[in-house]
Structure 1
Amino acid sequence: MAPADVVPQGEAPPAEVPGPLLTSGTSADVYALDDGRVLRRYREGRDAGPEVELLRHVRQHAYPAPEVLDAAGSDIVMTRLHGPTLLQALGAGEISIAGAAQVLTDLHARLHLVPSPRSWQVPSDHDWQTLSGGPVVVHLDLHPGNVILTEAGPGVLDWANARTGTAELDVALTAVLIAEVAVDAGGDYSQAARALLAAFLHSSQVSPLTALDDAAALRSTAPLLLPGERELVPAAAALVRTMVELTSNP
């Protein structure tokens, strides 16, 4: 959930890239083409086609995701969303923990109203081959660092893990991601993350319990986790389970 690195304003990009580097994820880089467009480029040559199809599908259902302007091979040109991330707004005190939890809950609820596109197929190079799909579109990485607070409202970035699935799995993965920060005893934001997790679980109408084991298993097998992250997953899942059970049995 750490915010991505930002290239200092005015810094010239290397000649071999199309523009200033805005963010770097585990599998892709995002470059600014101009004030209204960005280029998302997968570093390992992954086919962006399935991601493009899901992005266009959720946009057709009025979900707040970037608009795909062009795509070819490993590249996606999208509209650029301006504003702080939800994570940055939390850190700056611009939004309360309860408010941030409600934003996450609302974005999940809206996404899970979007039915799975009939034609969509899991890409052959997808990291999570064991998932069997489901009736709705799921993001599977919907945490505060991937939410942009624009003037028009929250928007969701980084659809690399998106696919078809169940609302329970999507909510469970978000809960585990937040809980990883909460159980990191040496982290600067562990107490805030614990409070955010409690608020998110309280506001969500979808219980993550039935999908919690699957979410933890997926997170544990995710590629390119930072050192120490994988070891946090069991404790994170246990914290989610405890919090849900306490909420259910006050």
Structure 2
Amino acid sequence: MEIGPLLGSGRTADVYALDGTWVLRRYRDGIDTTGELAVMSYLAASGFPVPRIGPPADDALPTDLVVQRLTGPTLAEALLAGTVTEDEGADLLVRLLHELHAIPARLSQDPEDRVLHLDLHPENVILSPEGARVIGWLTAREGPPALDRAMTSLILAQVSLDPAVTAGARLRGLLAALLTRFAADGGVPADALARATALRAEDPRLTAHEATALDEAAGLVASLPGGGPAHFRR
């Protein structure tokens, strides 16, 4: 397959068309896709809704990953368009996390550990005609499910506090709905929120505002029902 036109660019990668079935995701900064490919292959074999993995492109690089070409809006786009409500979005995110955390860890010997996405937010959920598909597995690791719940909540809080985001109030509504549902699973414990905040602070791809707003975002999560102690501090 020959590499076609650029379809889009994110913080870490560029996506190119290959044909009607496959796209090439090429990471910048020398990021190797070996680990991500292994996680996605394991999850696909376990029945989790990840994009199908395709054959390597011609002259493939270690930074390349060929995956299914998905159609449909992201969950973020559907929320902004009003075709999905905050409650429906929260239900979907909770369902996806439940399905993910039902799968045993691939490597860890700790029976409590699971595969964690650690970047599961509305822009990483594609509402394809075949159903929701989860993308963006670069950050995946293994650990306690509470850490995944904490990270999803923290990311939503960060984005909702960004003055450049016009849908901040709607995202805070989504966050509140999500935390209410997380309460049934143990909520977002303070130690998980602290660990998620520390991990997020280490991300070199955060914008200046995102880095500055980390403590405020963690405080917002902690202040809502299901988010843990109301006076969390990192």
TM-score by length of 2: 0.87
Q: Indicate the residue corresponding to 1:174 in structure 2.
A: 152
3-state secondary structure, aligned to 1:68: coil
3-state secondary structure, aligned to 1:34: coil
- Give the distance between the partners of 1:19 and 1:221, measured in 2 at CA: 34
Deviation at 1:18, TM superposition (A): 2.1
After superposition, the Cα gap between the structure-2 partners of 1:232 and 1:52, relative to the gap in structure 1 and judged at 3 Å, is: same
Q: Indicate the residue corresponding to 1:147 in structure 2.
A: 125
- Give the distance between the partners of 2:203 and 2:17, measured in 1 at CA: 27
- Give the distance between the partners of 1:236 and 1:39, measured in 2 at CA: 34
After superposition, the Cα gap between the structure-2 partners of 1:96 and 1:78, relative to the gap in structure 1 and judged at 3 Å, is: same
Q: CA RMSD in A?
A: 2.3
Structure 2 gap ranges (5+): none
Deviation at 1:185, TM superposition (A): 4.5
- Give the distance between the partners of 1:79 and 1:235, measured in 2 at CA: 37
Letter in 1 for 2:49: P
- Give the distance between the partners of 1:70 and 1:76, measured in 2 at CA: 9
Report the more deviating stretch, 152-161 or 203-212: 203-212
Deviation at 1:113, TM superposition (A): 1.0
After superposition, the Cα gap between the structure-2 partners of 1:225 and 1:246, relative to the gap in structure 1 and judged at 3 Å, is: closer
3-state secondary structure, aligned to 1:23: strand
1:85-134 deviations in whole A, cap 9, x for unaligned? 000001111111100111111011100111111389xxxxxxxxxxx9x7
Q: Indicate the residue corresponding to 1:76 in structure 2.
A: 65
After superposition, the Cα gap between the structure-2 partners of 1:29 and 1:119, relative to the gap in structure 1 and judged at 3 Å, is: farther
3-state secondary structure, aligned to 1:241: helix
Q: Indicate the residue corresponding to 1:220 in structure 2.
A: 201
After superposition, the Cα gap between the structure-2 partners of 1:49 and 1:184, relative to the gap in structure 1 and judged at 3 Å, is: same
- Give the distance between the partners of 1:99 and 1:165, measured in 2 at CA: 27
Q: Indicate the residue corresponding to 1:54 in structure 2.
A: 39
Q: Indicate the residue corresponding to 2:139 in structure 1.
A: 161
After superposition, the Cα gap between the structure-2 partners of 1:70 and 1:236, relative to the gap in structure 1 and judged at 3 Å, is: same
Matched, 1:198 2:176: yes
1:159-190 deviations in whole A, cap 9, x for unaligned? 11112122111110000010012223553111
- Give the distance between the partners of 2:224 and 2:108, measured in 1 at CA: 38
Deviation at 1:230, TM superposition (A): 0.4
Instruction: Tell me if structure 2 keeps the 8 A contact 1:181–1:189.
Output: no
Structure 1 gap ranges (5+): 1-16, 121-131
Deviation at 1:25, TM superposition (A): 2.2
Matched, 1:208 2:197: no
1:191-229 deviations in whole A, cap 9, x for unaligned? 111100000111223322230000011111211212311
Q: How many residues align?
A: 221
